[in-house]
Amino acid sequence: MTCPMASSPMITTPLPYCPMLSVARYFFVENDLMPKALLLANRHSRRGDSPELQEACDLLEESGVTLIRAAAEKSANTDEIIAAHKDEIDRVIVAGGDGSLNSVAGSLHQHGLTLAILPLGTANDLARTLGIPDDLNKACRIIIEGHCQWVDLGMVNGHYYFNVANMGLGTKITGELTPEVKKHWGVFSYLKALLAALSHRRSFRLKINVDGVDYKMQSMHVTVGNGRYYGGGNLVHENARIDDGKLTLYSLKPLTFLQLLTLSPLLRTGAHHQSEQVFNIQGKNISIQTSRRLEVHADGEYLTDTPAQCQSVHRALQIIVPRPKGGDEEI
């Protein structure tokens, strides 16, 4: 599938031999496409103030993309910015991490706009799910090529998210992930945050309803995944996808530090369903009740509190992704 603005009648004038970007520029100008993109850049992301971002913008503009640039201060003003430009653009390019991407999910779905990603965050889990590399030059070439894929969104209490929604231990980890920790520790900041969060872990009674079926248990942490990766490369489940119309839930029973350490390789690889200490289930609609009120964080941002109503929004929006090899359209 190719995005509408990347499609055009065949060029009949023979193309001279030239680098890829010059070809792309020739293609856009000769066919009067000149795509317009709103570039939302989070300067507070881990690489948001790097020279790489300016180089990426130059590459896009040289290819024929007209950029409308705006600074994105998390979710404070992204809705207003997108709404103001929605009629003059065909895509939104987000230069930032998973938190920045989370802030635009609802607006993109509402206005039917295509998303493109320049990964500048610490974890870049959505980009990892979609096969978009951290190298900004390569990410630019993916945007220029313009191949699109429909993806799902998760929704919790009316708030959209891409990767996972967490409650319990996971929100403690998020609280430990300060900008300073991310800046200095990079991907290892998640390990540092986990160790700090373990000292504050508390269990709770959990009642969930998955597509009409009730389950009850003790828990210390719950994840409801829409995408495939979270937390700097952990797998939600080894079979999880971002386009299957399902949410993937897992709940950790109350564990000691040593038990959690033993379980961590399975959590990392998404094979935690092999452990009796983890409850796993998939469904389209999931209701969650907890014995005490818990914060719900998604894509590293606080969104709401329990009780939580979660659902999968199938084929919610299109994202520009690498063209699959062998003609396979699936992620």
In a domain, 244, yes or no: yes
CA distance 233 to 222: 17
Query: Is residue 330 assigned to a domain?
Result: no
**Residue 51 pLDDT:** 83
The answer to whether residues 98 and 183 belong to one domain is no
State residue 171's pLDDT score. 75
Mean pLDDT of 6-31: 41
For residue 325, is pLDDT > 70? yes
Token pair for 195: 């160790």
Provide the residue range defining the domain that includes 22: 4-146
**Residue pLDDT, tens place only, 240-269:** 999 999 999 999 999 888 888 888 899 899
Please tell me whether residues 8 and 139 are part of one structural domain: yes
For the stretch 66-94, pLDDT in tens is 999 987 665 558 999 999 999 999 999 99
Together in a domain, 192 and 260 = yes
Euclidean distance between CA atoms 108 and 83, whole angstroms? 9
Burial bucket for residue 304 (CB in 10 Å: 0-12, 13-18, 19+)? middle
**Which of 75, 55, 109 minimizes the C-alpha distance to 92?**
109
| pLDDT level of residue 8 (50, 70, 90 thresholds) | very low
Joined together, the tokens standing for residue 20 give: 């890829």
Assigned domain for 328 exists: no
Whether residues 110 and 42 share a domain: the answer is: yes
Tell me, yes or no, whether 319 lies in a domain: no
Count of domains for the chain: 2
Separation between Cα atoms, residue 202 and residue 193, nearest integer Å: 16
Report how far residue 294's alpha carbon sits from residue 251's, in angstroms, rounded to the nearest whole number.
14
Domain-located, residue 205: yes
Residues 36 and 171 both lie in one domain? no
Between 151 and 72, the higher pLDDT residue: 151
Residues 193 and 302 reside in one and the same domain: yes
Does 121 lie in the same domain as 37?
A: yes
CATH number at residue 231: 2.60.200.40
pLDDT of residue 6: 46
Check whether residue 191 and residue 128 sit in a common domain: no
Q: Answer whether residue 202 shows pLDDT above 90.
A: no
Task: Tell me the DSSP string of 224-285.
Answer: EESSSEETTTEES-TT--SSSS-EEEEEEPP--HHHHHHHHHHHHHT-GGGSTTEEEEEESE
Q: Cβ of 12: how many Cβ atoms within 10 Å?
A: 6
Predicted confidence at residue 316, as pLDDT, reads 98
CB 46 within 8 A of CB 97: yes
In a domain, 34, yes or no: yes
205 in the same domain as 128: no
* Residue 16 pLDDT > 50: no
Are 167 and 113 in the same domain? Answer: no
Do 181 and 288 lie in one domain? The reply is: yes
Same-domain pairing of 229 and 140: no
Q: Domain for residue 326, yes or no? A: no
CATH code at 99? 3.40.50.10330
Domain boundary among 82, 117, 146: 146
Structural domain includes residue 324: no
- The residue from 117, 146, 175 where one domain ends is 146
Closest-CA residue to 153 (of 94, 89, 87, 107): 107
